[in-house]
Amino acid sequence: MKQTMKRSFNLIALLIFVGLVSSCTVVRQGEVGVKRTLGKIQPTPLMEGVKAYNPFITRIIKVPVRTMNIEVRSPLPSKEGLTVQSDISILYRVEGQKAPQIVEKLGKNFDQIVILPVFRSAVADISSRYFAKDMHTGQRTEIERAIKDLMMVQLKDRGFMVESVLMKSIVLPAGLTKAIEDKLEAEQDAQRMQFVLDKERQEAQRRVIEAEGVRDAQKIINEGLTPMLIQFKSIEAFNKLSTSPNAKVIITSGASTPLMISSNN
């Protein structure tokens, strides 16, 4: 009899324990809980921590509020009618206070119901304003920002925040890729030739400046060599020669520059 009572007690304790465990849940960091009782959504979200509830009439739906990433491979129509393939990342998050409203109106698969359709509409609208080559150049950042802004117009009031739209890879049509490569090669050749021309031009300018310097120096020297200066320099030279022990023959008329003949012993 005692053994039967003990078994019954253990069974009751086990049922109580299972009931307690099944009536508690943990809302972790980076998410909020949405409480639904008898089909009715409570308007206030549950913050992180342990939450107790009646599992028979209540369910707690956990909604992530951290930054989420959706990877999409999408064809992008261009302004000239071409189709460009691109791998795109959509970084977004849910506003915690609006999580009950999102679950009530959209359910848990809100990314498939709202975010992706809004993205496809926005990306088609924005990409069709640009040429295909623009998506492969520095204008990519401008395109990403325009897609993000257009998505925010439609999603902000619904409780979503689009943080970034990132075009990670662009695959252009084969013919356009070859044309862009040829154009870039031609531009590089033109830049290389311009560099050579600039270098030759600078060298020519250097030579002109050098020649002008020589010309100006000669002009200054010629202007400074007056007859009086030449005669003065001759007298100085004669004075220095007079102190030399070597025999010299000097032929001069007295007015012109002398001619000196040196005779060494």
Number of domains in the chain: 3
46 and 60 together in one domain: yes
- Predicted pLDDT of residue 253: 56
Residue 185 falls inside a structural domain: no
Q: Which helix (H) or strand (E) holds 47?
A: none
Q: Confidence band (pLDDT; 50, 70, 90) for 213?
A: confident
pLDDT of 17: 44
Is residue 196 one of the residues assigned to a domain?
A: no
pTM, entire model: 0.58
Least confident of 2-6, 18-22, 43-47: 18-22
Pair (155, 240) in one structural domain: no
What's the mean pLDDT when you consider all of the chain?
Answer: 78
For residues 82 and 145, membership in a common domain is answered with yes
| Tokens standing for residue 59 | 């369910």
Share of the chain above pLDDT 90, in %: 26
CATH number at residue 164: 3.30.479.30
Give 126-178 pLDDT, tens digit per residue: 999 988 878 877 788 899 999 999 999 999 889 999 999 998 888 776 666 56
The answer to whether position 238 is within a domain reads yes
Q: Domain limits at 107?
A: 68-177
What does the pLDDT read at residue 120? 92
pLDDT at position 257 is 53
User: What does R_g of the chain's alpha carbons equal in angstroms?
Assistant: 47
Residues 12 and 98 in one domain: no
Mark 249-262 as b/e (b = at least 16 C-beta within 10 Å): eeeeeeeeeeeeee
Give tens-digit pLDDT for 88-121.
999 999 999 999 999 999 988 899 999 999 999 9
Same domain, 44 and 122: no
* Higher-scoring residue by pLDDT: 198, 98: 98
